Amino acid sequence: MDTADAFVGLECAATGDRYRPTHVGRGDADAPLDPAYDLDAVDPGSLPTDPDSMWGYDALLPVPAERAVSAGEGATPSLPADGLAADLGVDAVRVKDEGRNPTGTVLDRGLSVATTMARAHEADLLALAAPGNAGQSAAAYAGRIDTDCYAYLPSRAPFPNKAMVNVHGADMRVIGGRYPDALAALDELERSWYSLQEFTTPYRHDGAKTLAYEVAAKQGWTAPDAVVLAVGTGEVAVGVERGFRDLVDLGVIERPPRLYAVQAEGCAPVVEAVEDDRPVEAVDHPDTICGELEIPDPAGGELARDAVAATGGGAVAVPDDDLLESAVALTQRLGTEVGATGGAAAAGAWALADRGAFGGDETVILVNADAGVKTADVLRSHLMGQGV
């Protein structure tokens, strides 16, 4: 396998055991694995400040850029939001607009890396269950390597996700119910497959860390004071914390930003664990309009909780009405399209500001995790409910 010089293998999150780069799936302890890198093999001065895609940071990814399965993901803009900064009482707010990725989601970063490694492992069938966005993204990247892909989506998944899974040519299975039902149905698949499931493949959260590299590079290799993002499966939070930690270890930035996790009130297992200082427990009756956040037992829940703690950050849950209203408000202010997941981050930022989480001289990054078109019907229904 032609891997990057710094990529040395996979490390078990539970035991610390090391596995070869050729290992597939989880470790012997049935715990997530984390790609391990020899940072001494990385020249900090070679990291680009304005790459064309996230693969400009291939020194910190498993394979060189020329081996990547890429559709130009990453290199997304950070949009100034001066009005929001005034609302929050901080010096600056920038919105990292992940809706500009190829399929309109931050998850394209991780699915690009995961599909790249699936090809390196000569996989002939890819599969995953997803609330929506990851299924669409996986279908797109599988199409780039002309490999069969099964995408199991719950019936509650948004229509745009379902439609585009078909358009990209994947084999979609729509399962009645919610995300856990789709995951259970996938487990019954009798054929052998290469899993693109978050935290079964170690590469989805590995791709997410490139968001942190881009944020720091855009600020002249300094870290913001805080990053606020919505948490569903946990992969983005885990990846972003890892990315900033890499930059600290490389001596590129002095300290990581505080990481704040936001979830919907109807499904907030990570938030409750952070607030109660306890392990993550599954939510018995999840209920939120934002399907990407309706993950009652997130595979990366514990790792996301640890990521928040490691940065001295925090967590907050927001009502559905607030996250929808925030998505609409931010879309109207910025001109870009903010989805319900990005609306959760914005609503969380307002709630955190009310708690006094931010200082007046601080810079805050909000992550707009997906494009507004993903949840356009939900946002429009919210407006109609207000008589608009």
Over the chain (388 residues), the average pLDDT of each successive run of 10 is 92 94 92 96 96 98 97 97 96 98 98 98 97 98 97 96 97 97 94 95 98 97 98 98 98 98 98 97 96 98 97 98 96 94 98 97 98 93 84
Please indicate, yes or no, whether residues 84 and 148 belong to a single structural domain of this protein.
no
> Token pair of 106, please?
């931050």
In angstroms, the CA 296 to CA 309 distance is 21
Please indicate, yes or no, whether residues 333 and 245 belong to a single structural domain of this protein.
yes
Please indicate, yes or no, whether residues 242 and 336 belong to a single structural domain of this protein.
yes
On whether the CB atoms of residues 68 and 57 are closer than 8 A, the answer is no
Please indicate, yes or no, whether residues 167 and 289 belong to a single structural domain of this protein.
no
Map tokens 């992550």 to a residue. Answer: 367
HEC string of 22-44 equals CCCCCCCCCCCEEEEECHHHCCH
Instruction: Write down the pLDDT at residue 386.
Output: 82
Residue 39 forms part of a structural domain: no
Tally of CA atoms within 13 A in the half-sphere of 123 that contains its CB: 28
Beta bridge partners of 78: 96
Could you tell me how far CA 275 lies from the centroid of its own chain? 22
On whether the CB atoms of residues 310 and 241 are closer than 8 A, the answer is yes
Q: Against a cut of 0.75, is the pTM above it?
A: yes
> Token pair of 356, please?
């006094």
On whether the CB atoms of residues 259 and 223 are closer than 8 A, the answer is no
Please indicate, yes or no, whether residues 150 and 284 belong to a single structural domain of this protein.
no
Q: How many domains does the chain have?
A: 2
Domain boundary among 202, 220, 251: 202
Domain boundary among 202, 224, 253: 202
Which CATH number characterizes residue 177's domain?
3.40.50.1100
> Token pair of 50, please?
């304005």
Q: Looking at this protein, which amino acid is placed at residue 121?
A: H
On whether the CB atoms of residues 175 and 156 are closer than 8 A, the answer is no
Exposed e or buried b per residue across 197-232, where buried means at least 16 C-beta atoms within 10 angstroms of its C-beta? bbbbbbbbbbbbbbbbbbbbbbbeebbbbbbbbbbb
Residue 70 forms part of a structural domain: no
Could you tell me how far CA 367 lies from the centroid of its own chain? 9
Residue 205: phi and psi, rounded to 5, are -70, -25
Please indicate, yes or no, whether residues 284 and 156 belong to a single structural domain of this protein.
no
Beta bridge partners of 174: 153
Instruction: Write down the pLDDT at residue 79.
Output: 97
Q: Read out DSSP for 296-340?
A: SS-TTHHHHHHHHHHHT-EEEEE-HHHHHHHHHHHHHHHSS-B-H
- Total residues belonging to the chain: 388
Residue 40 forms part of a structural domain: no
Instruction: Write down the pLDDT at residue 187.
Output: 93
Please indicate, yes or no, whether residues 264 and 376 belong to a single structural domain of this protein.
yes
Domain boundary among 142, 172, 202: 202
Q: Looking at this protein, which amino acid is placed at residue 195?
A: S
Instruction: Write down the pLDDT at residue 188.
Output: 93
Could you tell me how far CA 260 lies from the centroid of its own chain? 14
Instruction: Write down the pLDDT at residue 2.
Output: 84
DSSP label of 267? B
Please indicate, yes or no, whether residues 324 and 223 belong to a single structural domain of this protein.
yes
Residue 47 forms part of a structural domain: no
Determine the 3-state secondary structure of 15 from DSSP: coil
Instruction: Write down the pLDDT at residue 355.
Output: 96
Q: Read out DSSP for 237-270?
A: HHHHHHHHHHHHHTTSSSSPPEEEEEEETTB-HH
Q: What is the pLDDT of residues 154-193, one digit of tens each?
A: 999 999 999 999 999 999 999 999 999 999 999 998 889 9
Please indicate, yes or no, whether residues 193 and 208 belong to a single structural domain of this protein.
no
For 117, the domain range is: 107-202
On whether the CB atoms of residues 171 and 162 are closer than 8 A, the answer is no
Instruction: Write down the pLDDT at residue 294.
Output: 98
On whether the CB atoms of residues 113 and 74 are closer than 8 A, the answer is no
Start-to-end CA distance of the chain, whole Å, equals 56
Please indicate, yes or no, whether residues 269 and 345 belong to a single structural domain of this protein.
yes
Please indicate, yes or no, whether residues 244 and 120 belong to a single structural domain of this protein.
no
Residue 151 forms part of a structural domain: yes
Instruction: Write down the pLDDT at residue 385.
Output: 84
Residue 31 forms part of a structural domain: no
> Token pair of 261, please?
């996790």
Please indicate, yes or no, whether residues 142 and 277 belong to a single structural domain of this protein.
no
Residue 24 forms part of a structural domain: no
Q: Read out DSSP for 135-195?
A: HHHHHHHHHHTT-EEEEEEETTS-HHHHHHHHHHT-EEEEESSSHHHHHHHHHT--S--EE
Helix (H) or strand (E) holding 203: helix 203-208
What is the CA angle 239-185-110, rounded to 5?
Answer: 20
Residue 46 forms part of a structural domain: no
